[in-house]
Amino acid sequence: MNLKTEQSRTAYNKIASDYDTSREGQYTSFHRKELLDRIDLSEGCVVLDVACGNGTLLGELSKKAKIRANGIDVSENMIQAAKMRYPNLNFEVKPCTPLEWDDESIDIITVCCAFHHFEDPQEFANECKRILKKNGTIYLADPNFGAVCRFLANKLLFPFSKSGDVRVYSRKELETFFDHSGFNRVEVYTKGRGLFLKAEKQS
């Protein structure tokens, strides 16, 4: 496990028991709500929530439609919390890369406020393209920082952070990862404190 991934694991293990009331849990609730409003589900969809935390997003999605719900996270304590909350869903301790799923086996991938922790974001985008079925979609939410704040965070804060933060991205940077992976249709937009992506695999 690489340094930033190990830092993320340690940091989230510490806050797993009170994540919802923590500052981070409160911050991510906006992003989760936007994803819930945007994600199109149909009966029987195979959904993978990467960096699922305590399972809240996946649990809410499972109320919208009867899906085959799977969540992965590097934090053992987060996965334990998710299993206790949603015993009928599938949660496992696994990294974001490589994604241990067969080619073209997933209908929808979700990532809520975790992409800036990923040490190799291009590899992650490539893996999403590999495991998504034809017409599969990834929905992603991450923090939306202005240019100055983004520069300060990436150059001065994150290199010394012990929370596993790697880098926050602009709209163009985020779009480019998924363009380079071969996604046919990539939509990126900002809303309030959130940066959101929807990328579709059509071939």
State CA 143 to chain mean position distance.
Answer: 12
CATH number at residue 180: 3.40.50.150
pLDDT at res. 149: 96
Distance between CA atoms of residues 69 and 45, nearest Å: 8
pLDDT at res. 203: 76
> If the chain, 203 residues long, is cut into consecutive pieces of 10 residues, what is the mean pLDDT of each piece?
93 94 92 96 96 98 97 98 97 97 98 98 98 97 97 96 96 98 97 97 87
**Domain membership of residue 72 as a residue range:** 3-200
Degrees to nearest 5, angle at CA 145 with 127 and 51 = 35
Count of domains for the chain = 1
Query: Is-contact 184 201, C-beta < 8 A?
Result: yes
Distance between CA atoms of residues 31 and 139, nearest Å: 11
Q: Is the pTM of this model over 0.75?
A: yes
Query: Is-contact 195 169, C-beta < 8 A?
Result: yes
pLDDT at res. 6: 96
Distance between CA atoms of residues 114 and 12, nearest Å: 11
